[in-house]
Chain A
Amino acid sequence: DAGVTQSPTHLIKTRGQQVTLRCSPKSGHDTVSWYQQALGQGPQFIFQYYEEEERQRGNFPDRFSGHQFPNYSSELNVNALLLGDSALYLCASSLVGQGTGYTFGSGTRLTVV
């Protein structure tokens, strides 16, 4: 049973560019959340998607946007990249109404130069 799969694992972008990160949730899960983790800090919640809609959003600018597809997979898009966007981006999946924990992927390491 595959867990959460994220792609790519690493990438390097230039300031001002746009990036798309992808996430496939764990089998049976229908909710996807995205987190940003700067070096040495805990993950910070970006947003959550359920039924192809953004359900909750953290304190991130509109440059961060997302999408969820009918097969529950999700994308995170970041426009006009800044150096400060360099971080590990984590995807977590869960089943709505299930009180137990989220399953996290290993993340995408984004470096903005």
Chain B
Amino acid sequence: DAKTTQPPSMDCAEGRAANLPCNHSTISGNEYVYWYRQIHSQGPQYIIHGLKNNETNEMASLIITEDRKSSTLILPHATLRDTAVYYCIVRPQYGNKLVFGAGTILRVKS
């Protein structure tokens, strides 16, 4: 599975959009970009995934660059409850395991 690079931490004001970047320059053609988050003392929670088109669901939007070497997770209106560690993972859609990096600690502040 391709490796990913994320900033160690980010701050965001409550109510503003949170934009979390991820670099995955070695991504291969059959690999998807997945995002999970982990709120303190809980297991990771699936957010969204995509291949090459931008995706949106009730939680977030995923923007993938045309060359697929980077992506951005967007939380449109961040709340205090969005404070968590966010993990960007690249893997085949039907791959068996998730390879977690260190992730980005997002702190939403009032």
Task: Identify the A interface with B (CB < 8 A).
Answer: 4, 33, 35, 41-45, 48, 55-56, 58, 90, 92, 97, 99-107
Q: Do the beta carbons of A106 and B42 come within 8 Å of each other? A: yes
Q: Which residues of A contact B101 (CB under 8 A)?
A: 42
Q: List 5 A-B contacts (CB under 8 A).
A: A42-B100, A43-B44, A99-B49, A102-B44, A106-B41
Q: Do the beta carbons of A104 and B43 come within 8 Å of each other? A: yes
Q: Which residues of B contact A102 (CB under 8 A)?
A: 44, 46, 98
Q: Which residues of A contact B46 (CB under 8 A)?
A: 100-103
Query: With A48-B97, A90-B44, A102-B98 given, can you name 12 additional A-B contacts, CB distance below 8 Å?
Result: A4-B43, A35-B98, A44-B100, A56-B96, A92-B43, A92-B44, A97-B94, A99-B49, A103-B46, A104-B43, A106-B42, A107-B42
Ranked nearest first, the 8 interchain pairs of A and B with the lowest CB-CB distance are A101-B46, A104-B43, A42-B100, A99-B93, A45-B97, A56-B96, A43-B100, A104-B44
Considering the complex, give the chain A residue whose CB is closest to the CB of B100: A42
| Interface status of B45 (Cβ within 8 A of chain A) | yes
| A-side interface mostly | loop
**Per a CB cutoff under 8 Å, which of B41, B42, B49, B85 touches A101?**
B49
Per the 8 Å Cβ criterion, residues 69-106 of B in contact with A are: 85, 87, 93-94, 96-103
CA A106 to CA B40, docked complex, whole Å:
10
Tell me the count of chain B residues lying within 8 A, CB to CB, of chain A: 23
Instruction: State the Cβ distance, A107 to closest chain B Cβ, in Å.
Output: 6
Q: Which residues of A contact B85 (CB under 8 A)?
A: 42
Q: Which residues of A contact B103 (CB under 8 A)?
A: 42
Q: Do the beta carbons of B100 and A101 come within 8 Å of each other? A: no
Q: Which residues of B contact A42 (CB under 8 A)?
A: 85, 87, 100-103
Q: Do the beta carbons of B97 and A56 come within 8 Å of each other? A: yes
